[in-house]
Structure 1
Amino acid sequence: MSSTQKPPVVNHLIASLPPVDRARFLQHCEPVDLVFDTVLCKPGEVYPFVYFPLTGFVSLMTIVSKHPALEVGMIGSEGMLGGTLALGVDTALLLGIVQGAGTALRMTLPHLKNELVINSALVRVLNRYVFVLMKQQSQSSACNSFHEVDARLARWLLMSHDRSHADYFHFTHQYLGDMLGVQRSAITIAAGVLRDKKLIRYARGKIHITDRLGLEAVSCECYAATAEDYFKKLAHPYERMVAVDSAGA
């Protein structure tokens, strides 16, 4: 546990609960740090805990032998890790690994299962969230198959930006290549395209987003489609949890 004080609720799923249900729910949560590269769940294994990110984000990775794990989904303050428990499934389908350091609220499986019995509002919002997460994963699969690398890179940076609470990241080209399932050289070319358009700048593994709207314009359609799914299916609009004046932080 990172602190004896509970952080303010900024996770969208928890914030969408009615006040009484939310207060009871938070009594069984503990604040923890999300440490970069920490594995939170493994395919086929029971979730040790469920996580509701506040800052930072978790990548959902699929594993194919003799290849690097490929990212097929991303979870930040809009969602949770372990949503399939709402479907009665307590084993993980994918590898969950922290790719953006930050903080989260953590809950044990018994406590979440109890809440799913007594908290109908939680059941409704998690069912909708699982649907949206499934759409994100299917959209990601199509994106990886059909879209150009620079557009896919723009989409990935936007999704990270939405969840990271910062305008810069420490990602190497090799790391980004692994995330998108392409060679490092393809990322170098794609990042160069975005840099030449003055949408990002980068040096020594640090990428800084300099033109958010411009990056949205060159991203493939998958980013907007995923954001629209959140807006339509959840009780709140999918929005960045980052202050307007954070640019240059």
Structure 2
Amino acid sequence: MATLSPPEQAALAPYLERVTLASGQVIVQPGKALQHVYFPINCSLTWVSHTAEGESAELALVGRDGLIGVPLVLGAMTMQHTVQVQCGGQALRIGADDFLRQLRTQGRLHQMALLYVQRQMAQMAQSIVCSRHHAVSERLGHWLLNNAQGANTRELRVTHETISHMLGVRRESVTQAAGRFQAAGWIDNHRGRITLKDTVGLSTMACECHARSQLESQRYLQQLAHLGRQNDGHVPAVASRESVDTGVVFTPYGMPSEDDDSAASDLQKYVDAYDFAPVGFVTLDAQGRVLQTNLAGAILLDIQRSQCQNHLFSDFLEVSSQASFAQFHQEVLKGQCRRYCLVELTATAHRRAMCVRIDATADEWGVENRMVLIDVSDQVPLHEVVLTPWAYRSTPSVVTPLGYRS
């Protein structure tokens, strides 16, 4: 709405009404004619598909940057899926007939609606890949972050039972994953309510679909902003208009400025640099469990990235390196200076034992150990790993090719 020009907003506002939606409320039944189109303000709505046996799964999430009424945009009058309220809140509602008339008379509104259709198709396609290839804990992290962003809140009033239906998994699996998230300090989990305490930490557990979703969302908003700047020079990033008739406030939702047009491509460059870097990146939690790794890190550890979470990093080390690494790990989390150590990775079915140098630093909260792993087997004999297990530097120093301070 904020992307429309003031005259376009004024033409639309008399047909809009503000409604309050409750969590779990069904607003669209499959096979029935659409009566209204909804624009969420601070709530999230979900498309749900049901099987004949009563099983269900979420197809797409609609937040405050979208709408419920895609079939009308494409020329149909009914939906084949249930739409229910995921997180309660307020939304704008317009009658289906009024919406269709506005689409016919407002070309820019029609173009924006089609942009959203494209975005939702991409979201549904990604959800298919996610459900087939990612673990429950990864999917739960992605689901919680998406819902919080869509409803513009950190508190989600939702049960584990509901989440299990949305993800199409057992409730016990959701409970176990949520318990690990709470133990890590990322969420506060109470009956019927989940509060996101550390979205940055939670994003390290979310599957790759979350990063893709963020990029797609940013691209969509940039397209809306570009469309809003056409013809009349209207700048949606600063638009804010209140309708006297309806009390509706049109405010921008994360609209990027003209200087931010390359943000999505820049972010993708960082993602690619992380994924395909020639050195291993591995992040551990305070207990020494693997949270995230890039491709090179997964190869060094000889594990699949999608299955790396919750492995103790010490399990990949020779017994002779485990005690010194445990000390090193605690020192990293306690200090703000950069540290490095030498460890020996155990041999696997696909590679020999390796001497690895680890450069590490803690995150700003001291709860994550972010490590760079470099294979130095050709430079450091394995017996020296035990003799010189670890060292640190709190000021810049000259590092020799072997990794020792000069």
Place the TM-score, normalised by the shorter chain, in its bin.
Answer: 0.7 to 0.9
Q: Which amino acid in the other structure matches residue 192 of structure 2?
A: G
State the distance in 1 between where 2:142 and 2:54 align.
23
What's the counterpart of residue 64 of structure 1?
51
State the distance in 1 between where 2:214 and 2:131 align.
18
Give the alignment's TM-score, normalised by structure 2: 0.54
Q: Secondary structure at the match of 2:34?
A: coil
Is 1:73 the counterpart of 2:66? The answer is no
Match of 1:22 among 5, 9, 19: 9
Q: Which moved more, 1:165-174 or 1:114-123?
A: 165-174
Report the number of matched residues.
227
**Native 8 Å contact 2:187 2:197 kept in 1:** yes
Q: Secondary structure at the match of 1:58?
A: strand
Match of 2:129 among 117, 142, 147: 142
What does 1:183-194 align with in structure 2 at a 5 Å threshold?
183-194=170-181
**Native 8 Å contact 1:231 1:238 kept in 2:** no
What's the counterpart of residue 115 of structure 2?
128
**Native 8 Å contact 2:163 2:174 kept in 1:** yes
State the distance in 2 between where 1:71 and 1:158 align.
15
**Native 8 Å contact 1:41 1:97 kept in 2:** yes
Q: Which moved more, 1:194-203 or 1:124-133?
A: 194-203
User: CA offset at residue 175 of structure 1?
Assistant: 1.7
State the distance in 1 between where 2:254 and 2:209 align.
16
State the distance in 2 between where 1:229 and 1:238 align.
15
Q: Which amino acid in the other structure matches residue 199 of structure 2?
A: R
5+ residue gaps, structure 2, are 226-251, 256-406
What's the counterpart of residue 180 of structure 1?
167
State the distance in 2 between where 1:216 and 1:239 align.
19
Match of 1:156 among 113, 134, 143: 143
**Native 8 Å contact 2:86 2:158 kept in 1:** no
Per-residue displacement from partner, 1:174-197 (whole Å, max 9, x unpaired)?
A: 221111111011111111221222
What's the counterpart of residue 323 of structure 2?
none
User: CA offset at residue 84 of structure 1?
Assistant: 2.5
Is 1:51 the counterpart of 2:38? The answer is yes
Q: Secondary structure at the match of 1:55?
A: coil
User: CA offset at residue 68 of structure 1?
Assistant: 2.8
User: CA offset at residue 238 of structure 1?
Assistant: 6.9
User: CA offset at residue 226 of structure 1?
Assistant: 1.8
Per-residue displacement from partner, 1:21-50 (whole Å, max 9, x unpaired)?
A: 111111111111112222111222211111
State the distance in 2 between where 1:163 and 1:128 align.
17
State the distance in 1 between where 2:126 and 2:55 align.
20
Q: Which amino acid in the other structure matches residue 99 of structure 2?
A: L
5+ residue gaps, structure 1, are 1-13, 241-249
What's the counterpart of residue 95 of structure 2?
108
Match of 2:205 among 218, 238, 244: 218
**Native 8 Å contact 1:52 1:104 kept in 2:** yes
**Native 8 Å contact 1:167 1:208 kept in 2:** yes
Match of 1:92 among 58, 61, 79: 79
State the distance in 2 between where 1:38 and 1:185 align.
24
**Native 8 Å contact 1:60 1:97 kept in 2:** yes
Report sequence identity in percent.
30
State the distance in 1 between where 2:13 and 2:82 align.
26
Instruction: Return closer, same or farther for 1:98/1:60 CA change in 2, 3 Å cut-off.
Output: same
Is 1:235 the counterpart of 2:224? The answer is yes
What's the counterpart of residue 10 of structure 1?
none
State the distance in 1 between where 2:72 and 2:5 align.
20
Q: Which moved more, 1:126-135 or 1:212-221?
A: 212-221
State the distance in 2 between where 1:203 and 1:114 align.
45
Per-residue displacement from partner, 1:99-151 (whole Å, max 9, x unpaired)?
A: 11101111111111111111000111111100101111111121111101111
